Amino acid sequence: MSWQGVEGHDAVVEQFRRALERGRLASTFLFVGPPGIGKRTLALKLAQALLCQQHDATELASCGHCANCVQVLAGTHPDLLEVRKPTDKSSLPVELFIGSRERRMQEGLCHDIRLKPFMGGRRVAIIDDADFLNEESANCLLKTLEEPPPRSVMILLGTSADRQLPTIRSRAQIIRFDPLPVELVADLLVSRQVVTDRAEAVRLARHSEGSLSRAEELADPELWKFRSELLSRLADPALDSGRWTKALVAFVEAAGKDATPRRVRARQVIGFAIEFYRHLVRRLSGAPVSADEELQSATAAAAQAWKGDAEAAAACAQRSLDALAHVERNANQATLLECWLDDLARIAARGVPLAGIG
């Protein structure tokens, strides 16, 4: 079942349907779940339903044709406010909430949400990338959440409740989104013509962690070619990090001129390494391993040559998770990748976690 093209989140839709029916919609929501699974899509559809003129306020429905619906769909509705992290910033700047220095408290989301609805009804705000609220922005937002303006609805979108300040968390109704099932991701890849082959769609979906946008990003043959090379390098305890860094940085930079596609690629490559080390940990500790053929043979080779124990492999996985967190925070990619590979090479060469290397 899908509601307004929102797939895989029937329980969440149902929860909103019931809240509206009873006239008991909260004023602040925190949507949490992996990126790319439809949180923002659902937030926008919800906004459309709340603003639609053709449907009663107790109904979770929108007509798609009225002036309100048309403007929501076009992204121009004056009562729908949306902020997100600019691609060149590492956090949500405070200006988005309280205006520029010259126009403090005269613009920005915290100001605008207090205005009377232009087209009747309500005002709805969507705060995307809520994981990246900095302290200043969070404090400004908090003041608004403490006394939400009447008829306002605010929806924060983040990956986990733990990544939000407790003060924000406690003022929001938390709505958890599950990763999408593999079958659904595969269906969507085919129906959106990202790939034509169903088996290929399933393969990408398996690597997507239940995220459609990740699965779409993975539909890149270059990436899989690079993965083969990466796996064989990682399986070699004499990893030449200096030479290999150049190849890695060149591959990441070839994704495009902008920060976003480069970040996506860095994330993908580090993600492959995490997968590799996790499987290696399982293999070294005698746990059953199920993976694609390439990963199977790479971890088998690595386990043969590995100098340390499962703990050292776990340290590599952890080091890779740290690197991943830094990619999201928009650090200098080349330096980040260099330090990461360097640390992996040091752990692999000695077979002990870094803390044990003098």
Give Cβ neighbours of residue 323 (< 8 Å, ≥ 6 apart). Answer: 270, 336, 337, 339, 340
Q: Residue 47 or residue 298: which is nearer to Zn ion going by CB?
A: 47
- Residue 356 CA to residue 339 CA, distance in Å, equals 18
Q: Return the number of the residue (25 or 52) whose C-beta is nearest Zn ion.
A: 52
Q: What is the Cα–Cα distance from 85 to 75, expressed in whole angstroms? A: 17
Binding characters for Zn ion, 280-319, by CB under 5 A (x = yes): ----------------------------------------
DSSP codes joined into one string, 257-281: SSHHHHHHHHHHHHHHHHHHHHHHH
Based on the shown chain and the rule CB under 5 A, indicate whether residue 334 belongs to the binding site for Zn ion.
Answer: no
Residue pair 58/20 in contact by the 8 Å Cβ criterion = yes
Site for Zn ion contains 70 (CB under 5 A):
no
Closest CA to 181 of 217, 219, 211: 211
Nearer to Zn ion, 62 or 208 (CB): 62
- To Zn ion, the closest distance from the beta carbon of 43 in angstroms equals 17
Identity of the residue, 67 or 357, whose beta carbon is nearer to Zn ion in the bound complex? 67
Question: Judged by CB under 5 A, which of 20, 69, 157, 337 binds Zn ion?
Answer: 69
Give residues 49-68 in contact with Zn ion (rule: CB under 5 A): 52, 54, 62-63, 66
- Asked whether the CA dihedral 171, 141, 158, 333 is positive or negative, the reply is negative
Gap between the terminal Cα atoms of the chain: 58
Q: Which residues of 217-253 are buried (b: 16+ CB within 10 A; e: fewer)?
A: bbeeeebeebbeebbebbbebebebeebbeebbebbe
Closest distance to Zn ion from the beta carbon of 127 (Å):
24
In angstroms, give the least distance from the CB of 44 to Zn ion.
13
The residue among 53 and 139 lying less far from Zn ion, judged by its C-beta, is 53
Q: Which is nearer to Zn ion, 60 or 186 (CB)?
A: 60
Binding to Zn ion (CB under 5 A) within 14-53 occurs at 52
By CB under 5 A, name the binding residues for Zn ion: 52, 54, 62-63, 66, 69
